[in-house]
Amino acid sequence: MRETPVVIDGPVGQLEALYLENKGLDNEQPRGIALICHPNPVQGGTMLNKVVSTLQRTARDAGLITLRFNYRGVGASEGSHDMGTGEVDDAQAAAEWLRAKHPDLPLTLFGFSFGGFVAASLGGRLEAKSEQLKHLFMVAAAVTRLNGYDLLPVNCPLTLIQPETDEVIDPQAVYDWSSKLERPHELLKVAECGHFFHGKLTDLKDLILPRLSN
């Protein structure tokens, strides 16, 4: 199964995206939809990042329809970087596009690095609009960008996955943030693993896949 390039109307122009309408084996019905948010565009993050690609393939293998997209100013997406609420606005437009095509399927959100901030913030927005999320996965997430926990969704399962030798996101900052987080969640630490999961992408998939199959 190959992803299809699509164009989504974003808040400041068109957003470049890749969409997979997952038919599964023997044309099984998809089990849900997944939106994947990529890392910091200022540091070269795009929807083609290898961790993002791993998240997409993992969601695909779990029977989910997937959508990944480039924020404003990345690739062919119009506009310029905002490095904050603008990228969350873009993610919301992508989620609404996906939801319009599949109104009855549960939504799972993934975010890697800066995308973890985006996915968490989007989850809070969607939940405030009475959308019930299936799961939120924050991978090596930029948690220090989340000012106040009111941004987070509170009613869906939350999984934090943190490399123990992350050279971009301070692991201790994630551990401290997790320890202060009052809502239920799980923190999974990946030993001998850097920010981009070099040599550890299979481990990442193995952590996520069973949690998508529940």
Instruction: Kindly state the tokens that stand for 113.
Output: 């690095």
pLDDT tens digits, residue range 91-132?
999 999 999 999 999 999 999 999 999 999 999 999 999 999
- β-pair type (4-10, 13-20): antiparallel
Asked if 72 contacts 90 with a C-beta cutoff of 8 angstroms, the reply is yes
State pLDDT tens for residues 136-192: 999 999 999 997 656 899 999 999 999 999 999 999 999 999 999 989 999 999 999
Report the domain count for the chain: 1
Predicted confidence at residue 125, as pLDDT, reads: 95
* Across 53-62, 75-84, 109-118, least confident range: 75-84
pLDDT for the residue numbered 52: 98
Q: Which tens digit of pLDDT belongs to each residue from 3-22?
A: 999 999 999 999 999 999 98
For the chain, give the longest Cα–Cα distance. 45
What does 66-86 look like in DSSP terms, one character per residue? Answer: EEEEPPTTSTT--S---SSHH
Position with higher pLDDT, 214 vs 205: 205
Cβ atoms < 10 Å from Cβ of 164: 12
Q: What is the mean pLDDT of the chain?
A: 94
| Comparison of pLDDT for 153 and 84, the residue scoring more | 153
pLDDT for 23-55, tens place per residue?
765 667 889 999 999 999 999 999 999 999 999
3-state secondary structure of 193: coil
Domain that holds residue 72: 4-212
Let me know: does 68 contact 98? Beta carbons within 8 Å: no
The answer to whether 208 touches 179, Cβ cutoff 8 Å, is: no
The CATH number of residue 175's host domain is 3.40.50.1820
